[in-house]
Amino acid sequence: MLEVNGLSKRFGGLQAVRDVALTVNEGAITALIGPNGAGKTTTFAMVAGFIRPDAGSVRFLGKEMAGLRPDRIAALGMVRTFQVTQPFAGLSVMENIRIGAFLHEADPGLAEVLAREVGTRLGLGAILDRPASGLTVAARKRLEVARALATQPRLLLLDEVMAGLNPSELGEIVSMIRAVRDGGVTILLIEHIMAAVAALAEEVNVMAEGALIARGTPTQIARDPAVVEAYLGHGAAARMAQSGARHA
Amino acid sequence: MKTLAPRLIFAALLLVPFGFGSQFLVNLAMLTAMSALLGQAWNIAGGFGGLTSFGHTVFFGLGAYAAAILATRYGVSAWFALPVAFALGGAVGAVIGFASFRAGLRGSYFALVTLAFAEAFRVLATASEFTRGGQGINVSLDLGLANFQFADRRATYAVIVALLLLAMAVAAWLRRSRFGAQLMAVRENEDAAAALGIDIVFTKTAAFSLSGGFAALGGVVYCQTYLFVDPLIAFGVERSVEMLLVAMIGGAGTVWGPVLGALALHLVADTARSFIATPGFAPMLYGVMLLVIVGLLPGGVASLGARWRRA
């Protein structure tokens, strides 16, 4: 469904993303993980059209997306959320979601019906008519997903929708994301929380220092020495193997 | 304002000037309605779209000059000048808007660009023979319905009220429609709006163009009322400021705000001015009113009703 190849971006002296390739299969939940500053969000921004890549291609449903404006890409069915939630603060929760619904539904009444349905499905039913400013972190994250989902996307790009949530909220959002996928929406997510990634994703891509360093199932990734080093520092994998051997 | 009461009060206020022969009252009502019309024009872009223009008199001036030039050079009736001015204001709004928004200008940068355009038009109108330079254009007096010139100011007032109601209908449409919702989304957060598939440059340009069209209508009516236009009347900075003040004091992004703002500005400020004649007092009073509103009542006078109902 989504095929990214050779994607690169340089900001001044910093090579933020170098030659990244990604594949997302229809109906799957694919994760993109990596330490802070690995270039995940920049990759997302390029895929969704917010940043123009220096090189590389982004093919979505067989069409080239690189160079298109973000609103064109969203209209074609690939919609992103933001790591730092971006609610329309002056509008109510329902009105926020309805902005998403308006992408393919011009009638205000029908768009509101769709918005209320999506909001209720994502657990925002009780607060639909409250102002979007002054929501809790968990509710803002849900709103971010609800708004994107109301555009009726084929592929959702979720940027750290689980960061800053407590364990019970985390469990709820994991089942929410799974329900979204079961509803027929393919998902690519950036995440820090490994437990959530292991619970959700079929395939995990790992980035470090701007490049893709590993790809596989969550279990394969957790054992990959390159991944352990990227997170815990140079030589960590070897030290862990050694101490593991001593304890045995 | 969902209840009926404010609408009835508004309707009554609209009709009051017709019942009296007093030219003072009719004049006051006419100026207030004109302010409300121009404020609502500004509000379509500035209130609903957050496109804070400091040079909206560009459109007013284009409308006024269009009416004057059509009448004096081509002998065209001012009724015909209304659609011409609307199209002209809309076209210039689209050009200024597209150029600015395409370049990513927002907030105070956009405000400065609009201010610069207004000043540029003022200089052009002063220098050009086509607009008779600094001496301005006199439209000859030729009373009659066909010429859109009325001996009785109440007729002019009725035309302004009709245009005001039309502008308010557009504002009401913005509050309900998809385009209006998308415009407000762009005002609140451009990145989020783009991520949800909204074409930001198109949405802002369309709103600015519509806003320009309505401001130009105000210019035509001005020209037909005073039968004179010169560069300072058409493109002076005071009118831009007044348009913005009316909308902000009344309540930006609302249907009723500009009406309430115009009432507040004219009733309060004009009354105070008749007691204190010191030059510069009115602008100072405007400034104080704006500070009070921004500080204490950011939603403008229009938000008072909702506050009382909630309390």
Residue with tokens 């006024």: B64
Across the beta sheet with A55-60, the strand order is A14-24, A2-11, A55-60, A63-64
pLDDT at B142: 79
Nearest CA in chain A to B203: A71
**CB under 8 Å to A64, separation ≥6 — which residues?**
A57, A58
Q: Does the distance separating the beta carbons of B185 and A99 come in below 8 Å?
A: yes
pLDDT at A109: 94
A-chain residues near B183 (CB < 8 A): none
- Taking any CB pair shorter than 8 Å as contact, residues of chain B touching chain A are 176-178, 181-182, 184-185, 187-189, 191-200
Beta-ladder partners of A60:
A2, A63
Those residues of chain A that have pLDDT short of 50 are: none
Domain map of chain B by residue range?
A: 25-236
Half-sphere exposure (Cβ direction) of B33: Cα atoms closer than 13 Å: 30
Position A24, amino acid: V
CA dihedral (B244, B123, B81, B255) in degrees, to 10, reads -10
Mutate to test the interface with A, among B174, B178, B196, B200 (most CBs of A within 10 A): B196
Query: How close is the nearest chain B Cα to the Cα of A74, in Å?
Result: 5
Mutate to test the interface with B, among A71, A84, A110 (most CBs of B within 10 A): A71
Q: Does the distance separating the beta carbons of B194 and A69 come in below 8 Å?
A: yes
A-chain residues near B199 (CB < 8 A): 69, 71
pLDDT at B139: 85
Instruction: Report which DSSP code applies to A126.
Output: G
pTM of the model: 0.90
Q: Does the distance separating the beta carbons of A95 and B182 come in below 8 Å?
A: no
pLDDT at B177: 96
pLDDT at B310: 59
Nearest CA in chain B to A144: B192
For each successive 10 residues of chain B (311 residues), what is the average pLDDT? 68 76 81 95 96 96 95 88 96 97 92 95 92 86 79 87 95 96 96 96 98 97 93 92 92 92 85 77 81 85 73 54
First to last CA, chain A: 45
Gap between the Cα atoms of A161 and A144, Å rounded: 8
Task: Report yes or no: A156 and A186 within 8 Å, Cβ to Cβ.
Answer: yes
pLDDT digit string (tens) for A172-208? 889 999 999 999 999 999 988 788 888 899 999 999 8
* Superfamily classification of domain A2-84+154-247: P-loop containing nucleotide triphosphate hydrolases (3.40.50.300)
Tell me the C-alpha to C-alpha distance, in Å, between residue A199 and each of A28, A32, A137, A170, A175. 13, 14, 22, 11, 10
Half-sphere exposure (Cβ direction) of A135: Cα atoms closer than 13 Å: 28
Q: Does the distance separating the beta carbons of A148 and B195 come in below 8 Å?
A: yes
Q: Does the distance separating the beta carbons of B177 and A71 come in below 8 Å?
A: no
Kindly state the percentage of chain B with pLDDT values over 90: 59
Q: Does the distance separating the beta carbons of B189 and A102 come in below 8 Å?
A: no
- Partner-chain residue, chosen from A50, A71, A107, that has the shortest CB–CB distance to B199: A71
Q: Does the distance separating the beta carbons of B196 and A151 come in below 8 Å?
A: yes
**Assembly ipTM:** 0.88
